Amino acid sequence: MSNPHISFEFFPPQTSEGAEKLAHTCTQLATLKPEFFSVTFGAGGSTRDRTLNTVKEIRSQGYDAAPHLSCVGSTRENIREILATYKEAGINRIVALRGDLPSGMATVGEFQYANELVEFIRKETGDHFHIEVAAYPEVHPQARSARDDLINFRRKLAAGADSAITQYFYNADSYFHFVDECRKMGITSPIVPGIMPIVRYAQLARFSDACGAEIPRWMRKTLEGYGDDSESVQAFGLDAVTHLCEKLLKGGAPGLHFYTLNQAKPSMAILERLKP
């Protein structure tokens, strides 16, 4: 199998110890020559400074970094400042998202949808940034229908986004169906599948329930059956996710984007198995 384009996602650490661990994780994953590392942005910009610091640290190690930028709870001026800071730091790739409204925050701010943010970034910065947006093969949990979700996705690309990264999933057919539907609508942009390694089942189930990512029943039942046997959970997860990645790449996926949860080992183990 030829080497696919790969990328890895981190969240900004909260402590200096976490930052040290992440620097080590980044160094390990960098040996796999990823296209870029992305760094998440907390609800309503709650991690703004930590996201920027993490991105700068990754850049200082000589790697390409893409900060996430969510617009909910933000103003145009606020986003303008962030864009200027990223440009100054030599960042040329952004993951543009609507984001979640933090609890207690009453207003969505000046941007309601991700396509408005994409349009604003293009208007302010021209072609400086390669803009990634989110895609949902299993349908965004707040979408009224699958069709509406596809129309919203097309709107983000029409506003100026270059490519997309999907929410994670474990059913390859959902990805292929989504891509087929996109192509029928005239969407030609690359759609990179998001991959979530399976490390701890309880944590995964919680994430999946919150974001609308389906864990197929056979996988749920198998993982539940292992109980506290973390070794079996991880061995099964490695087999299942490696098989998923193989199927995606053979089916034409342009690359893989790993949600690392700031750990190197699970993603590295999968990629080691994918080697030709």
Say how far residue 184 (Cα) sits from the centre of its chain: 24
Counting every residue written for the chain, the total comes to 276
**Alpha-carbon span 241 to 272, nearest angstrom:** 12
Answer yes or no: are the C-beta atoms of 137 and 191 closer than 8 Å: no
9 a catalytic residue: yes
Three-state SS for the chain is: CCCCEEEEEECCCCCHHHHHHHHHHHHHHHCCCCCEEEECCCHHHCCHHHHHHHHHHHHHCCCCEEEEEECCCECHHHHHHHHHHHHHCCCCEEEEECCCCCCCCCCCECCCCHHHHHHHHHHHHCCCCEEEEEECCCCCCCCCCHHHHHHHHHHHHHCCCCEEEEEECCCHHHHHHHHHHHHHCCCCCCEEEEECCCCCHHHHHHHHHHHCCCCCHHHHHHHHHCCCCHHHHHHHHHHHHHHHHHHHHHCCCCEEEEECCCCCHHHHHHHHHHCC
The residues, ordered by sequence, that sit 6+ positions from 207 with a Cβ below 8 Å of its Cβ are: 196, 213
Rounded Cα–Cα distance for residues 276 and 274 (Å) = 6
**Active-site residue (options: 9, 57, 116, 132):** 9
Known catalytic residues?
9
